[in-house]
Each structure stands twice: as C-alpha cells, then as structure tokens.
Structure 1
Amino acid sequence: MLEDEKYDLMRIIQIKFPRLSKGQKLIAEYILKHYDKAAFMTAARLGVSVGVSESTVVRFANELGFSGYPKLQKALHELIKNKLTTVQRIELSNTFISEESSLKGVLKADMENIRVTLEKINHNVFDDVINSIFSAKRIYIIGLRSSTALAEFLGFYLNLILDNVYVVSYKISDIFEQIINITSDDLLIGIGFPRYASRTIEALRFAKSRKTKVVALTDSLLSPLATEADYTLIAQSNMASFVDSLVAPMSVINALIVSVGLREKDRISNVFTDLENIWKEYKVYSSRSTEDKF
C-alpha cells in the first residue's frame, strides 16, 4: 500500500467492502465504527471481538493491500493518533489497562517505545543535530502542552553546558515575541507529540521563514513538526492512555545532553565544580543522607 493511502484507510475499506467475505465484512464494519479501539487490538483480539478467526483478520489486512496485520494496525495508529480526544483516551485506558495491571502494562509499553526508538532513530541525523547545536549562534527550544517538561529539561542541562540556550514557553510575552530576532545563524529545536500543539508547529514554520535551521523531536516523519524541520529525531510515544508516553523522547534528550557534554568535558568540569561550591554554600541540596535516619 502506498504511504499516502493510509490517510484514506476508511475510504479504501468502503470501496473494497462489496468484495469482502462474510467474516471480513464483520471486521470492516467493526473498524469503521470503532477504529479507535481496533488500533490497539491484536489480530487475535480483534477476531474474538467480531466473532472470526485470527487468520481471517490477517486475510482481511491482505485484502486491503497490506503485507500483514501489523501494517494495517500501524495505518490505524496513524489515522487516530492526532484525533483522539482525552475522553476517548480515558475510555481506551479502561478497556486495555486494568487497575491491577496498570503498573506492568505501562512499564512494558514504555520499554517497547524505547526499543522501537532505538531501531528507528537515524544515527547520522543525531550526529548532524549535535553539530548544528555547536555551530548555532543561539539555540531556541520549544515544546508546549505535555512537551513543556521535555523542553524545560533539555534547556536546563544545555544551559549548564552552553551559554546561548533559550527556552521558548508561555509567558507574559507571546512565543513569537520570544523568537522575533531569530536568524539563519540560529537553531530552533521543536518538541511535539500527538496531539501536536498548533503553536509549536507555527513557531517552526516562522523559524523556517527566517532561514533558521530547525530540528524536530517527534514521533514520525509524517508528523506536522517533521514537515517543517531540516533534521528529525524520531522517538516512539504510543500509549493507549490519556497520559502521553514521553519516556522514549526523554531518553533521546538524555542522549543529546550527554553527547553535547562529551564535547565540552573541560567546561562541564569547571561549571560543576563551581556549582558544587555554590550548592554547598547556599544549602541547595540536603546534606542529610539516608544513613542519618537510622
């Protein structure tokens, strides 16, 4: 199936519906009505839900032009990832993650996100991003909504290593006022995952209009952030929950920070030696150890 056809998956199902077998029509009807739930079902579970065998589900995927059920499931994920409301996510959480298994289920999902990220991420692009960080006159970082924590974390550590880092966020001033002086000598790092914050996309588009080099940390090359970026770092964030899974993106950010730090070893050593003295003098951290409690 062509890459852009998945955007019209529902239309494809409708066109092929008359030629489907009786069992396949049951699957088609279920997906058309409940595509948000079907996207997170295994072939076996989908078969049980509509009363057909797992092999019938696989043949249904083949009939639509997919090489297997995982490809169909991926197309469903792409279809819904930016359309699910928080209420729908809560309903999915209740369906697929029980209270008893939430800890195990969420941790396993996060582990899978990191595994897929390790497979998908382009190491050459990662190196290009590091080079761009060091060649930039100023580095702007933007991540809004649930991605704010990621942007602040990246900005916090890069600020300890470099002296030209600015985190763009919701303040008294609008985000455009914070990047009004951005130029072709600068770098903008945009962070966003479904549901994508419109203001982040607009900021990346504004930066591109100023010939600024743009880096996107997002979940797919089909992401609206990726379409505005010169370099895209992919981090898996799938989670059938109302809570965004940002573990894999955080791991990529940690890798960025460590890589930048490795190139500035002497500077980091001096900075943290100075900071340790300041932290000690102003009692920033508690000096009490866990052994003091016993």
Structure 2
Amino acid sequence: MQNILQFNEKDVRIILDNKAKKRDGSMQENKQDLMKLIQLKFPRLSKGQKLIAEYILKHYDKAAFMTAAKLGTTVGVSESTVVRFANELGYSGYPKLQKALQEMIKNKLTSVQRIEISNDYFVEENPLKSVLKADMENLRATLEKINIDTFDSAVDEILKAKRIYIVGFRSSQALVEFLGFYLNLILDNVRIVSTGISDVFEKLLRVGPNDVVIGIGFPRYSTRTIDAMKFSKSRGAKVITITDSLLSPLATYADYTLIAQSNMVSFVDSLAAPLSVINALVVAVGLNEKDKTQETFRTLEEIWEEHNVYSYKNKINNE
C-alpha cells in the first residue's frame, strides 16, 4: 500500500472540510472523492479496517453490492468491523457507504460485470426474494425522493401541450411504449420516439415551444435519449425526464425531473418504480380529462366487445 497516500496539503484540507459538514451526501459526489477519503484515512485505520479499505480500493464494483456481513467474510473480519469502518469514513452506517459506492459505479458497470456481481449476491438469498425486496426498496425510496410539486407541474405541461413526444431507447423502450399506449387513449397528440434510432431527429423535426418532450432513461443512459433531450431543449420545448437521479445526464436538459429509483443487482434493470411513476402520470392526466376519458373508454368498450378483443367469460358461457 506504499503508493496509496499521494496527497498534497490542499487535497487533505478539502476532504476534511467535507467531513466536517457531517453530511453523507457530501462524500458521494464521485469516485475520486470517496477513493481519496479512504486513502486519507488508511494510516489511522485498524488492521481489520485496512483489509476492508484495500478490498474496496481494488474491487469497489463488487463491494458496492455486498452486505456488511458478506464484505466482512470476504476480507476476513467481523460484520461489526465493517460497520465501524463506515463510521470511520463519516457515514452514519454501512448502508450509507454502500449507497455511495453504488452511486459511484452504477453508470459504469457492463452487463458482464453485472452478471458476475449478481452471481455472488444471489448466492446468499433466493433470487425471487432478493428481487422483490429490491423493488420494494426502490418504490419506498422513490416515494421519498420524488417532488410532488414537480410531478403536478409536469402533468399541467402535458395537458396544455400542442404535441407530446415520448422518447426512450434500450430497456427504457418498454416504459415509453407503456406510457404512450395509455396517454394515447386519453389524448390525441401523443407521439412515440423509441425505434429507428437513426431517425430520432427526423421524428423530432417539428418540435417547438408549445410541445412537451418526455425522456425516459436509466443507467447505463442511452446517448440517443440524452441527445434528443438536448435537441428538444434547444428548440424551446418543455422537457420532462423520468430518471433515477438529479445527477442523471437526462436531468441536465430537463425543466421537470421525476425521480424513480432503479437500483438492481443484476444484468436487468429494475423498472418497478419507474413504471409506478408512469402509472401515476397516466392516472393524473386521466383525472384532469375525466369526461373525455370516460367517453373514450365507453366507445372503446363497445368496439372491444364487438370485435372480441377480450375474452368475455359470461358471453362464452351463455353461448
């Protein structure tokens, strides 16, 4: 570890100032800050804590998704030593340190790395329970993080828009299609931009100040979605994003950012919270267009029954 301590006095002063703020978030801004903090603290750590520090510095991508017990077992120390290590860094507990590590790497992991991490993670618990617990935590965190006033303002913008464009690619395409399907039943000015990546700008050609563009994206963020948000913003459109953080590159160009947490220890993305936010958007728009929505669905029900779109059990039994 001879090459770890490479700091000048200014570096040390900056890190100590951050710690003095006693805010977990002050140490979560980026990888460099957290890694430097661990390096700075290294000489004063106990023998067991040094083992943890060395492991995190070398394998932070794996450590980010280990429980305190798992990390302790991996490096050969107790779970309580791991907790004390987190406290020594200034975090209120190990979960805060773990979250900082996850925030640091979530946009960097390749699918292969995600598979490797999930293999280790799911050994400890049944995948069904692990995934459901993770989704529940994402929903809980989303309820805490999302700004209700921002949500209401986004709904207002959707209702008064001349045209509504919904943009998203890769795994977010499913969310785009879902939102587009239901909004299209309520409004007649909805356009989906999720396929034909090469012509995304052609589909946004006429976007302007009276339009709303809804961008949906989560780590690893699609560059096409980011480019579409930037383009729409430059054309004067109101931009709404559904993403995982205010630090998301999509949020950079947004007038309104709706936070939906999507953490998942796997090669697939957790879309439970994003889908719930989308459900809420659809319901809110529908409630504001109540008469129109009722009339639309009354007509649709007649059409669906006439053309046997759905299985009508009572009708079948009567026949």
Do the structures match in fold with TM over 0.5? yes
Partner of 1:203: 228
C-alpha displacement at 1:250, in angstroms? Answer: 0.4
| CA shift in 2, pair 1:164/1:29, >3 Å | same
Q: What does 1:23-102 correspond to in 2, within 5 Å?
A: 23-98=48-123, 101-102=126-127
CA distance in 2 between partners of 1:182 and 1:275 (Å): 30
Shift in Å at residue 18 of structure 1? 3.2
- Of residues 18-27 and 7-16 in structure 1, the stretch that sits farther from structure 2 once superposed is 7-16
Amino acid at match of 1:154: L
2:42 corresponds to which of 17, 42, 45: 17
Shift of 1:161: 0.4
Q: Distance in 2 between matches of 1:150 and 1:36?
A: 28
CA distance in 1, matches of 2:156, 2:48: 54
Amino acid at match of 1:34: H
Distance in 2, Cα, partners of 1:69 & 1:4: 14
Distance 1:134 1:104, change over 3 A: same
- Aligned with residue 7 of structure 1, among 14, 31, 42: 31
Residues paired across the two proteins, number: 292
**1:272 aligned to 2:297?**
yes
When the two structures are superposed, what TM-score results if normalisation uses the length of structure 2?
A: 0.86
Could you tell which deviates more after superposition, 108-117 or 138-147? 108-117
3-state SS of paired residue (1:223) = coil
Matching residue within 125, 131, 134 for 2:150? 125
1:169-188 equivalence runs, <5 A:
169-171=194-196, 174-188=199-213
RMSD: 2.1
CA–CA distance in structure 2, aligned partners of residues 172 and 5 of structure 1: 32
Stretches (4+) displaced over 6 A: none
> 1:111 matched to which residue of 2?
136
Task: Give the C-alpha shift of residue 186 in structure 1.
Answer: 0.9
Partner of 2:4: none
Tell me by how many angstroms 1:62 deviates: 3.0
Deviation string for 1:247-275 (max 9, x for gaps)?
A: 11101100110111011111111111111
**What is the alpha-carbon distance in structure 1 between the residues aligned to residue 73 and residue 124 of structure 2?**
23
- 1:246 deviation in Å? 0.2
Aligned-pair identity in percent equals: 69
Match of 1:157 in 2: 182
- Structure 2 counterpart of 1:97, one-letter code: F
Compute the displacement of 1:153 (Å).
Answer: 0.4
TM-score, with length taken from structure 1? 0.93
Q: Which runs of 5+ in 2 are unaligned?
A: 1-17, 19-25
Compared with structure 1, are the counterparts of its residues 162 and 18 closer, same or farther at alpha carbon in structure 2 (3 Å cutoff)?
A: same
- SS state of the match for residue 239, structure 1? coil
| Runs of 5+ unmatched residues, structure 1 | none
1:227 aligned residue: 252
Q: CA 1:99–1:30 in 2, change beyond 3 Å: closer, same or farther?
A: closer
- Residue 268 of structure 2 corresponds to residue 243 of structure 1: yes
| Correspondence 1:212 to 2:237 | yes
Q: Does the CA-based 8 Å contact 2:216-2:241 persist in structure 1?
A: yes
What letter matches 1:261 in structure 2?
Answer: G
